[in-house]
Amino acid sequence: MEHLSLASPAGIVLSLDAVLILLLALACLGSKLFDRYLTYYGLQSMLLAVAAGTAAYVEREPALWVLAGLTLVLKGVAIPEAARRLLVRRLQLKRDVVTIVGPSTSLILGAILAGFAYLVIGPQHLAQGLISASIIPISTAVILIGALAMVLRRHMVAQLLGWLIMENGVFLGGITLTASFPFIVEAGIFFDVVACFLIMLAMTTGLAESLVALSDRGRREPT
Amino acid sequence: MIALPIGAAMAPLLGTIAGLLTARARLAGMLAVAGGILCLILTATTAALVMAGRPIQSAGSLVYVDGLGSFFALTIAVVILLSSLGSLSYLAVEQRHGTLSPRRVRVYFAVFGVFATGMMGSVETANLGLLFILVEAATLASVVLVPIEGRTSGLEAGWRYVVVSSMGITMALAGTLFVFYAATGLPGSPQDHLTWAFLVRHADSLDAVSLRLGFLLAVVGYGTKVGLVPMHTWLPDAHSEAPSPASAMLSGALLNVGMYAIIRFIAIANGRFGPAYASHVLLVFGFLSVLVGALFMVRRRDFKRLFAYSSVEHMGIIAIGLGFGGLLGVYGALLHALNHSIGKCLLFLTGGSVVLAYGTRRSDHIGGVLTSLPLTGATFLIGSLAILGSPPFGLFISEFTIVRAGFAATYPALVGLFLLLLVVIFLGFFRTTSGMTLGPAEPRVTSPYVGRLERWTAHAPVLLGLGAILLLGLWVPGWLNDLLLRSVALVR
C-alpha cells in the first residue's frame, strides 16, 4: 500500500473515499441534530470499510477483509444503531444546543484545521504520485476535526461522537497506509475502541439517569 | 523463559477470578493479595534473570523484557501488592457500612485484576501497537473503578477521565502509526517496524519528518495519560473520586506506565535527532506541570485533590529529569518514578483510612488525626513530608540527583526556578496536611477497622511503603543501582 500510485484505479477509489470521509466529518461538525450526527458517522464508517476493502483487494490480504467486515458491521451499523436506540431515542435528544459556537463558525474552524493539516504534513515533501500524499493530510484533518467537535460541544453524546470521528481518522490513515500493520494489533485496537464505546455508553446512561444536567459546562470544581 | 513475565502479568487476574466467585470483600481481597504477592515474586525473578543475562524475548518480540522494562515492572508490582492489601481493608469497611453493594465489590475486584494485568503487560512488550492496546485496556479498566462508590460526582469524573484520555490515547495511536510509517523501506518484517527494539537499532535511517510528527503525537498522547499539563484536566477529578486504593494504583502505577511509553519514544527519537530535541519538548511539559501543580496545591480543600495535583507535579519532575538528560538526569528521573509511586501509594492508602474515619475529604473538616488515630496520623504526616522531598526519604535523593543533572546540563536558571517551585509546593502542601493531622482530637472519630485482619492489611502496606522509601533515601541497593544504570543506557 505504501507504494500504491495515486493514478491507479485503487488509488483513485481511495482518494475519493478519503475526501468523502473528510466531508462527512465536516457535515457532522456543521449539524445540530443528534440523529444526523449518527447518520453521518454511520456513513463515514461504511466508507472506511470501503477503504479497508480496497486495501484488502490491493494487498490480497485476507485479514484485512476481516477488518473491513468488522468495520462495516460494528462501526457502520451496530455502534450508530446502539447509540440511536439507547441514547438519542431513550433520552429524547433532538437538538444539540450546548455548543460554544454556532454551526457556521464551527465549519469555518473545521475548514481552517483541514488547511492546517495540509500545512503541517506538507504533502509536497512526501513522495510524489503516491497515495500517501493524499491520504495522510486527509486523515490528520479528520482527527483534528473530531477533536474540535469534542472541544466545541459540551453534550456528552456529541463528545462521544467527536471521539468516534477522531478514531475513524486514525483508522483511515492506519488501514490505507500501513496495510502491512500486524493484524493482531489492528484487531486489538478495534476491540479497545468497541470496549471504550460501551463504557462511554454506560456512563452516559448512568449520568442521565442520575438526573444531572447533561452538560458539564455548569460544573464547578470542588476546591 | 517467557513464561515468567507472562505469569507475572497474569498473576493479578487471581483478583478477577475472586471477584467473579465471591462478593465478600475480605475473601476476594485475600485472593487479590495472593495475586499481588505472586506477581511481585515472578517480576523479581524476571528482573534477576534479565540482570544476569540478556533481555527475555519471544519470537516477534511480542513479549520482551529488558532492564528498563523490568525496572518499571518492579515498581508496578510493588504498587499492585500494596494497593491490593489496602483494597482488602478499605472494601471490607465500605461493604460493612453499606457504601458498596455486593455487586460493586465483585466489579471492583474483577476490574482491579484486569487493570493490574494491563499495566504489567504494557511494560513487558516491545511492540508499540501491543503497548498501545494494553495501556488502553488498563485505562478502560481503571475508568470503571472511578465511579464505583456511586456518587454523581464520581460518574462525572469518570466521564471526564474517559473522554480526555481516549482523546489523548487516540493521538498516541496516530503517533504510533507515524513512527511505523517512518520505518517504511527498512529491512525486516512489518512486525519489526512496530518493535521499538528494532526501531532504536535502525533509528538513524528512519524518515525524519514522520518520526518528528510521530514523536510529538506520542508525547502528547501518552502525556495525557501521565497528566502532563495542559493535558492533565482529568487527573484531579479521577484520582480524588476513585476509592483510595484505586487512587493509589492510578497515581502510583498507571502514571508511570504512561511515562514508560514516553521514554521508549524518547529512545527512538534520541537515536535519530540526538538528545537535544526530545529534551526541549520534555522540559517545556515538565516545567508547565510543576508550575500548575504548585499553583493548584495552594489552599486546596479536598486533600485527595491535593494529592492528585502533587502527582501532576511529580510527573513534571520526572519529565524535567528526562529533559536535563545525561546519566544523572535519566537516573534521577527513573529513581524518582520508583520513589514517587511508593510514596504516593502509601499516602493515598493512609488517606483512605482518614476518609473512612472522618467520612469526608475536606481538609477543613478534618483535624487532630494524630491524636484520634495515632498510627494513621503519624504515617500521614511522615508520608507527606516524604512526598515533599524532605530528607532522609528517597524522594529527596532523586530530586537532588535531578537538580545536579540540571547543573551538569548547564541550566542554572531553570534549576533556580525548579527549586523555587518546590518551596512553594512544600508550603502549600504541608500547610494542609499539617492542619489536618495536628490540633485537638475529634471525640467522635474512631478507627474504622474491625478485627485483626482489617487492621493489619490497612496499616501493613503503609508501613512497608514508608520503610521502603526511607531505605531508598539512605541507601540504593547494588542490584537496583545496576538495574537503573542498565535502564539509563537504553534511553541515552
Q: Which of A59-63, A159-163, B203-207, B433-437 has the lowest mean pLDDT?
A: A59-63
Closest CA to B28 of B72, B92, B100, B101: B92
Burial of B452 (0-12, 13-18, 19+ CB in 10 A): exposed
- CA B297, CA A19: separation in Å to the nearest integer? 47
Q: Work out the average pLDDT over A83-90.
A: 85
Asked whether residue A40 is assigned to any structural domain, the reply reads yes
Q: Using a CB-CB distance cutoff of 8 angstroms, which residues of chain B are in contact with residue A137? A: none
Residues 6+ apart with CB under 8 A from B214: B175, B176, B177, B178, B179, B180, B181, B182, B265
What nine digits make up the cell of B92? Answer: 471490607
My answer on whether omega of the bond before B245 falls inside 30° of 0, hence cis, is no
Q: If you write DSSP's letter for every residue of B411-456 in order, what string do you get? A: -HHHHHHHHHHHHHHHHHHHHHHHHHHSSPPPTT------HHHHHH
Judge whether A4 lies within some domain: no
3 state SS for B6-54: HHHHHCCHHHHHHHHHCCCHHHHHHHHHHHHHHHHHHHHHHHHHHHHCC
How far is it, in rounded angstroms, from Cα B253 to Cα B276? 28
Is A198 an interface residue toward B (CB < 8 Å)?
A: no
What is the pLDDT confidence band of residue A55, given thresholds at 50, 70 and 90? confident
Task: Check residue B417 and give its pLDDT.
Answer: 94
- Asked, for residue A201, whether it belongs to a domain, the answer is yes
Q: Does A166 touch chain B (CB under 8 A)?
A: yes
What percentage of chain A exceeds 90 in pLDDT? 31
Res. B104 pLDDT band, cuts 50 70 90:
very high
Over 90: is that where the pLDDT of B285 sits? Answer: yes
Q: Which residue has the higher pLDDT, A211 or B5?
A: B5
Nearest alpha carbon to residue B197 among B299, B128, B141, B145: B128
Residue linked to cell 522494562? B69
pTM over 0.90: yes
Chain A residues with beta carbon closer than 8 angstroms to that of B300: 223
Query: Are A203 and B147 within 8 A, CB to CB?
Result: yes
Distances (CA, A) of B425 to B55, B294, B313, B393: 40, 5, 9, 17
Distance CA A196, CA A182 (A): 22
- What is the tens place of the pLDDT at every residue in B170-201? 899 989 988 988 888 788 887 888 899 899 99
Q: Report phi then psi at A100, rounded to 5.
A: -75, -40
Residues B356-384 as b or e (16 or more Cβ within 10 Å = b): bbbeebebeebbbbbebbebbbbbbbbbb
Mean pLDDT is highest, among A57-66, A193-202, B237-246, for: B237-246
What does the radius of gyration of chain B's CA atoms come to, in whole angstroms? 21
Please tell me which residue of chain B has the smallest CA distance to A163.
B167
Q: Check if the beta carbon of residue A172 is closer than 8 Å to that of residue A23.
A: no
pLDDT number for residue A217 = 45
Q: What are residue B316's DSSP bridge partners?
A: none
pLDDT at A223: 45
| CA dist list (Å): B78 to B117, B350, B385 | 13, 16, 21
Half-sphere exposure (Cβ direction) of A171: Cα atoms closer than 13 Å: 33
Above 50 in pLDDT, residue A220? no
pLDDT of res. B210: 85
Report helix angle B303-324 to B394-408, nearest 10.
40
Distance from CA of A223 to the nearest CA of B (A): 5
Structural domain tally of chain A? 1
Question: What is the distance between the alpha carbons of residues B208 and A57, in angstroms, rounded to a whole number?
Answer: 31
Taking an 8 Å cut-off on Cβ atoms, the answer to whether B181 and A180 are in contact is no
Q: What pLDDT, on the 0 to 100 scale, is given for residue A1?
A: 65
Any idea which of A38-42, A124-128, A141-145, B242-246 has the lowest mean pLDDT?
A124-128
Is A153 within the bounds of a domain?
yes
C-alpha to C-alpha distance for B102 and B25, rounded to whole angstroms = 8
Cα–Cα distance, B87 to B249 (Å, whole number): 10
Interfacial A residues in 19-78 facing B (CB < 8 Å): none
In a domain, A110, yes or no: yes
Shortest distance between the Cα of A108 and any Cα of chain B, in A, equals 22
pLDDT of B404 strictly over 50:
yes
In a domain, A77, yes or no: yes
Is residue A211 over pLDDT 60?
no
3-state secondary structure of A153: strand
Do B48 and B477 contact (CB within 8 A), yes or no?
A: no
How far is it, in rounded angstroms, from Cα A162 to Cα A178? 24
**Confidence (pLDDT) at A179:** 63
pLDDT score of A87: 83
Q: Convert the pLDDT of each residue in B350-390 to its tens digit.
A: 999 999 999 899 988 898 899 999 999 999 999 999 999 99
B76 three-class SS = helix
Total H helices, total E strands in chain A: 8, 0
Nearest C-alpha in B relative to A2? B184
pLDDT of amino acid A214: 47
Question: Which chain A residue shows the shortest CA-CA distance from B210?
Answer: A121
Question: Does A223 sit within 8 Å of B299, measured CB to CB?
Answer: yes
pLDDT at position B250 = 95
Q: Which of A99-108, B365-374, B393-402, B457-466 has the lowest mean pLDDT?
A: A99-108
With contact defined as beta carbons under 8 Å apart, do B406 and B308 qualify?
A: no
Q: What percent of chain B has pLDDT over 70?
A: 100
In a domain, A20, yes or no: yes
Query: How confident is the model at residue B272, as a pLDDT?
Result: 92
Full domain range(s) for residue A38: 9-209
Residues 6+ apart with CB under 8 A from A112: none
Return the higher-pLDDT residue of A97 and B414: B414
CA distances, B477 to each of B72, B333, B472, B482 (Å): 16, 17, 8, 9
Confidence of residue A127 (pLDDT cuts 50, 70, 90): low
Three-state DSSP class for residue B65: strand
Report helix angle B25-52 to B478-491, nearest 10.
Answer: 70
Query: How confident is the model over B321-342, as a mean pLDDT?
Result: 95
Query: Can you give the pLDDT at residue B381?
Result: 95
pLDDT at B36 > cutoff 90: yes
Residue B439 pLDDT level (bands cut at 50, 70, 90):
confident
Work out the mean pLDDT of chain B and round it to a whole number: 92
| B417 vs A200, more confident | B417
Question: What pLDDT does A131 receive?
Answer: 79
SS3 B243: coil
- More reliable by pLDDT, A112 or A96: A112
More confident residue, A174 or B465: B465
Cβ of A188 under 8 Å from any chain B Cβ?
Answer: yes
Q: Which three cell numbers stand for residue A110?
A: 473545521
**pLDDT surpassing 60 at residue A42:** yes
Which of A159, A189, A223 shows the shortest C-beta gap to B173? A189
Give the closest-approach CA distance of B408 to chain A in angstroms. 35
Q: Do the Cβ atoms of A222 and B194 come within 8 Å?
A: no
Confidence of residue A222 (pLDDT cuts 50, 70, 90): very low
Does the distance separating the beta carbons of B163 and A159 come in below 8 Å? Answer: yes
Q: Does A215 touch chain B (CB under 8 A)?
A: no
Cβ within 8 Å, pair B301-A212: no
Is the pLDDT at A130 greater than 80, yes or no?
A: no
Question: Regarding predicted confidence, which is higher, A31 or A4?
Answer: A31
Residue A221 lies in a domain: no
In the structure, what pLDDT confidence band is assigned to residue B284 with cuts at 50, 70 and 90? very high
User: Regarding beta strands B64-65 and B56-57, do their DSSP bridges make them parallel or antiparallel, or are they unpaired?
Assistant: antiparallel
Among positive and negative, which fits the CA dihedral B58, A179, B260, B309? negative
Give the span between the Cα atoms of B287 and B289, in whole angstroms: 5
Query: Is residue B238 scored above 90 in pLDDT?
Result: yes
What is the per-residue pLDDT for A126? 67
Q: Whole-angstrom Cα distance, residue B42 to residue B4?
A: 6
Q: Is the dihedral of CA B226, B232, B238, B240 positive or negative?
A: positive
State how far residue B305 is from chain A, nearest Cα, in angstroms.
8
Closest to B212 (Cα-Cα) out of A127, A125, A149:
A125
Within the 110-149 window of chain A, which residues sit less than 8 Å (CB to CB) from chain B?
A: 120-122, 125-126, 132, 140, 143, 147
- Using 50, 70 and 90 to split pLDDT, how confident is the model at A17? very high
Task: Give the model's pLDDT for residue A125.
Answer: 67
> pLDDT band for position B60 (50/70/90)?
confident
- The residue that leads in pLDDT, A126 or A121, is A121
Task: For residue B351, give every residue at least 6 positions away whose Cβ sits within 8 Å of its Cβ, in sequence order, or none.
Answer: B244, B303, B304, B307, B380
Largest CA distance in chain A: 60
Residue B38 has pLDDT above 70, yes or no: yes
pLDDT value at position B379?
95
CB distance B327 to B403 below 8 Å: no
Considering CB atoms only, which of A125, A166, A182 is closest to B194?
A182
Burial call A130-163: b when 16+ CB within 10 Å, e when fewer: bbbbbbbbbbbbbbbbbbbbbebbbbbbbbbbbb
Residue of A118, A166, A196 to mutate for B, most B C-beta atoms under 10 A: A196
The torsion angle over the Cα atoms of residues B142, B145, B147 and B150, rounded to 10 degrees, is 170
Mutation pick from A135, A160, A163, A185 vs chain B, by most beta carbons of B within 10 Å, is A185
